C-alpha cells in the first residue's frame, strides 16, 4: 500500500499496454504500476504452451518479486482458415526480431486466396491475477475474446500488432481505425478486464482490511 491506496502491478514494460490497463481498470481504487515502477527487474519468459500457462507464469513470477497483487495477460490472434494459428505464438511465429508489419504481412500471405466469408478470426486474451505469497495455485484467470475477419490489406494507424488487418464486421473498420476507447469497448483484453473487475475490487478491499 502507498499512503492507504492499494497497489496493483501490471506485468508489462510496454507503456501502451500499461495505459490500456489504466483505462480498463480506472474504476478501481488502486495505484496501477508497471513492473519498472514497482521495482521489478527480472523477466519471466513465456515458456508455456497456452495463454493460461503463460499468463499464470508471469502473474505468479512477478507477484513474487513485487509482493503486490499482480495482473498479467497473454493474448493472440486465431485464424480459422489456419486451424487457429498463430494463436499463442502470435508474437513470435515468424521468428525473432520481426516487426508487427512483417508478421501482419506474413499472415496476409498465409490467407491469400481465402474468400472473405472464410477469413474469420478472433483475438483471445487471458488475464491472470496473482496474490503475493500464494504461488501459481493462487492465481485466478479471466478470459475475453473479440471476433473479426481478416482484411485484404492493412488499414489504419492506431493500435498495434495485427490491428490494421483485423476487421470488426459490426463497425466496418479495422481495429487500427478505432480510437482507444472504441477498441477498449469491444476488445478481448477489454472483455477480460471487465470480467475481472469485481474480483479485483474484492481483492483490493480485502487487502485494505488486512492492512497489506
Ligand atoms: P503477448 O500477449 O504480449 O504475448 O502478445 C501477443 C501477440 O498477439 C502480440 O504481439 C500481437 O501480435 C498479438 N495481439 C494481442 N493482442 C492484440 C491486439 O489487441 N491487437 C493486435 N495484436 C494483438
Close Cβ partners of 23 (under 8 Å, ≥ 6 residues apart):
180, 181, 184
Percent of the chain with pLDDT over 70: 96
Q: How far apart are CA 117 and CA 36, in angstroms?
A: 44
Q: Is the pLDDT of residue 116 over 90?
A: yes
Q: Which three cell numbers stand for residue 18?
A: 500499461
pLDDT, tens digit, for every residue of 31-49?
Answer: 999 999 999 999 999 999 9
Q: 87: left (phi > 0), else alpha (psi -120 to 50), else beta?
A: left
Predicted model pTM = 0.95
Q: Which fold does the domain 7-210 belong to in CATH?
A: Maf protein (3.90.950)
Mutate to test the pocket of ligand 1, among 52, 76, 107, 188 (most ligand atoms within 8 A of CB): 76
pLDDT band at 207 (very low <50, low <70, confident <90, very high): confident
Q: How far apart are CA 207 and CA 211, in angstroms?
A: 6
Q: Average pLDDT in the 102-115 region? A: 97
Q: Is the CB of 76 under 6 A from ligand 1?
A: yes
**b/e 170-182 (16+ beta carbons within 10 angstroms → b):** eeebbbbbbeeee
Q: Average pLDDT in the 81-102 region? A: 95
Q: Is the CB of 91 under 6 A from ligand 1?
A: yes
Domain-wise residue ranges, the chain: 7-210
Nearest CA, atom 7, ligand 1: 91
Q: Is 74 a catalytic residue?
A: yes
Amino acid at each position: 500500500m502507498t499512503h492507504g491506496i492499494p497497489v496493483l502491478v501490471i506485468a508489462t514494460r510496454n507503456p501502451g499496454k500499461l495505459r490500456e490497463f489504466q483505462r480498463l481498470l480506472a474504476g478501481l481504487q488502486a495505484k496501477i504500476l508497471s513492473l519498472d515502477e514497482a521495482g521489478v527487474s527480472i523477466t519471466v519468459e513465456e515458456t508455456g504452451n497456452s495463454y493460461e500457462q503463460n499468463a499464470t507464469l508471469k502473474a505468479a513470477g512477478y507477484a513474487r518479486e513485487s509482493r503486490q497483487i499482480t495482473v498479467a495477460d497473454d493474448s493472440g490472434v486465431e485464424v480459422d482458415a489456419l486451424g487457429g494459428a498463430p494463436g499463442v505464438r502470435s508474437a513470435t511465429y515468424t521468428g525473432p526480431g520481426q516487426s508487427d508489419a512483417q508478421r501482419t504481412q506474413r499472415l496476409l500471405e498465409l490467407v491469400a486466396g481465402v474468400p472473405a466469408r472464410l477469413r474469420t478470426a478472433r483475438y483471445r486474451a487471458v488475464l491472470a491475477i496473482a496474490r503475493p505469497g500464494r504461488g501459481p495455485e493462487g492465481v485466478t484467470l479471466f478470459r475475453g475474446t473479440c471476433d473479426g475477419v481478416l482484411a485484404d490489406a492493412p488499414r489504419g494507424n492506431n493500435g498495434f500488432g495485427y490491428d490494421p488487418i483485423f476487421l470488426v464486421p459490426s463497425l466496418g473498420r479495422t481495429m487500427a481505425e478505432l480510437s482507444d476507447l472504441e477498441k477498449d469497448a469491444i476488445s478481448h483484453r477489454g472483455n477480460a478486464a471487465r470480467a475481472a473487475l469485481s474480483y479485483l475490487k474484492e481483492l483490493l478491499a480485502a487487502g485494505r482490511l488486512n492492512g497489506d
